[in-house]
Structure 1
Amino acid sequence: MRPIVVIPTRLGSSRLPGKALSDINGQPMIAHVWRRGIEAGIGPLVVACGDQEIVNAVREFGGRPVLTDSALPSGSDRAYAALCEVDPEEKYDTVVVLQGDLPTIDPSAIKATLAPLVRDTECEIATLATVIDDPVELHAPQVVKIALAMIPGDIIGRAVYFSRMVIPYGTGEHYHHIGMYTYRRQALAKYVSLPCGVLEQREGLEQLRAIEYGMRIDVSVVQTEPLGVDTPVDLERARALLAGR
């Protein structure tokens, strides 16, 4: 495998405007995410920027920015646009799409997204999950759950469905989806070419587009759940977690 890490990010955010450049202990949030990607040691890293202001910030801390169309509909679309610009000769065949709002993610979790692709050549997209232990989290609609087909004792399984509701029914483990993806390059090209699916619209979950059109998503179960920064409260938690790092 020849992986490249792409961090898609933009300033537009309904709940936390300008969050990519929000200050976390003297550095913009995107700098912390970039650092986690570097620490993972997977391959070269580029930042797919939806705004010139982010391009300027990334250059300032020594990263490699790519300016993309601000109107692109998703992080995967933005990552693919940057990929096509920096690698038109298709040197890299695996694309780690590290979301730009995960400043506390463990670098080992980023690396864990490669494991399903290495293990099974039929897997097209890989993502992450953690076990849900809190009943409040289990029933919270903002926590996306995975119906995960996995042999007991294993840490990699196949995603059957994603939902904001509690799935699957019955006793057993439930899994919280962590929203970062690693694609085989051809799978990313296919995904961004697909129209929005019916299930995607109903649940408000982009990953269901892949499921609806028959693409295979496998999941690595990890121990640590990164903080996704979506609100001012999340931002304060990230500042506390990263203090002194």
Structure 2
Amino acid sequence: MENKCVVVIPSRFGSVRLPGKPLADIHGQPMVQRVYERALKSGVAEVIIATDDERIFQVCKKFGAHVELTDKAHQSGTDRISELATRLNWPDDKIIINVQGDEPFLPPGLISQVQTLLENDLKAAMATLVTPINTMDEWEDSNTVKVVTDCNDQALYFSRAPIPWPRDNNEVNGLRHIGIYGYRAWALKKLALSPSCPLEKIERLEQLRALWLGLPIRVATACIVPPKGVDTIEDLEAISQKSLKSFDVS
């Protein structure tokens, strides 16, 4: 029987906040290798790195990854993955898990959780995960993406701003979006054929294009709270100061 799930890791060199981020050293390995090896531990049959940079491509080949070169013109990881969906002729019902390249210690169990969400909710075009926000610093940090959902656990909106805003008190009651998505291939192809929407351009959040198009995104609380991803040099330094065992969760 054909495998219906694949993990793709978009990886680009030109990060604004941390240039060359995929090749940043984390305890003796480039970040992209850490992400790749975590994804393999999820048990999926296929993990692919999609990059637009020859330097990243060569490093990935060196550690034995399946890596594909993609167009430099892509503005988001979703666009990069959609190129693969077309090039590799993936069927419409195939599930694609997009693991962000700046999540070097993402628990592999979260990949399985996203896959299960889509397998169990046939109406969902996409699926993703969240964790509660517990501190004001995280709540106000624009690098922390927040999401609000409806009564059916479908996403209403994603933002870098603190949402929902507590007008009458200072209580933090938000959800942090984790950098992992699941798509059905047909939804991914629809996103690729649609131009960036105004909200996506304002917030710099690619998932807003899906909401703009009316694609339902299923949201669930992560079964394991993952470590913070790497957005800045400070994040990279913080991870480097911790032992590898402290990130050893499944």
Q: Give the TM-score of the pair, scaled to structure 2.
A: 0.88
Q: Distance in 2 between matches of 1:204 and 1:57?
A: 28
Q: Distance in 1 between matches of 2:109 and 2:30?
A: 22
Report the equivalent of 1:199.
199
Tell me the secondary structure at the aligned position of residue 209 of structure 2. helix
RMSD: 2.1
Report the equivalent of 1:30.
32
Structure 1 residues 209, 150: closer, same or farther in 2, change over 3 A?
same
Structure 1 residues 111, 67: closer, same or farther in 2, change over 3 A?
same
Q: Which runs of 5+ in 1 are unaligned?
A: 152-156
- How far did residue 136 of structure 1 move? 2.3
Report the equivalent of 1:135.
136
Report the equivalent of 1:160.
156
Structure 1 residues 10, 203: closer, same or farther in 2, change over 3 A?
closer
- 1:63 maps to which of 62, 65, 69: 65
Range 133-142 or range 93-102, more displaced: 133-142
Structure 1 residues 15, 172: closer, same or farther in 2, change over 3 A?
closer
Counterpart code for 1:166: P
Counterpart code for 1:123: A
Q: Distance in 1 between matches of 2:176 and 2:90?
A: 37
- How far did residue 35 of structure 1 move? 0.4
Tell me the secondary structure at the aligned position of residue 114 of structure 1. helix
Q: Distance in 2 between matches of 1:207 and 1:101?
A: 17
- How far did residue 133 of structure 1 move? 1.1
Q: Give the TM-score of the pair, scaled to structure 1.
A: 0.89
- How far did residue 150 of structure 1 move? 4.3
Contact 1:163 1:203 in 2 (8 A): yes
Report the equivalent of 1:114.
115
CA distances 1:133-172 after superposition (whole Å, capped 9, x unpaired): 1122223333221112247xxxxx2111112233235578
Contact 2:90 2:185 in 1 (8 A): no
Contact 1:143 1:177 in 2 (8 A): yes
- How far did residue 36 of structure 1 move? 0.6
Counterpart code for 1:243: L
Tell me the secondary structure at the aligned position of residue 241 of structure 2. helix
Report the equivalent of 2:183.
183
Tell me the secondary structure at the aligned position of residue 70 of structure 1. coil
Report the equivalent of 2:214.
214
Report the equivalent of 2:51.
49
Q: Distance in 1 between matches of 2:161 and 2:14?
A: 27
CA distances 1:203-222 after superposition (whole Å, capped 9, x unpaired): 33221111111111111211
CA distances 1:65-95 after superposition (whole Å, capped 9, x unpaired): 111112211111111223333x326397111
- How far did residue 56 of structure 1 move? 1.0
Range 109-118 or range 87-96, more displaced: 87-96
- How far did residue 29 of structure 1 move? 0.7
CA distances 1:89-135 after superposition (whole Å, capped 9, x unpaired): 63971111111111011111122212321221110011111011112
Structure 1 residues 16, 65: closer, same or farther in 2, change over 3 A?
same
Report the equivalent of 1:17.
19
Structure 1 residues 65, 138: closer, same or farther in 2, change over 3 A?
same
CA distances 1:46-72 after superposition (whole Å, capped 9, x unpaired): 111111111111111111111111221
Tell me the secondary structure at the aligned position of residue 188 of structure 1. helix
- How far did residue 177 of structure 1 move? 0.8
Q: Distance in 1 between matches of 2:205 and 2:148?
A: 14
Q: Distance in 2 between matches of 1:89 and 1:19?
A: 29
Q: Which runs of 5+ in 2 are unaligned?
A: none
Counterpart code for 1:105: L
Q: Distance in 2 between matches of 1:162 and 1:228?
A: 17
Tell me the secondary structure at the aligned position of residue 48 of structure 2. strand
2:111 equivalent to 1:103: no
Task: Describe how 1:165-176 pairs up with structure 2 within 5 A.
Answer: 165-169=161-165, 173-176=173-176
Contact 1:67 1:82 in 2 (8 A): no
Task: Describe how 1:67-82 pairs up with structure 2 within 5 A.
Answer: 67-82=69-84
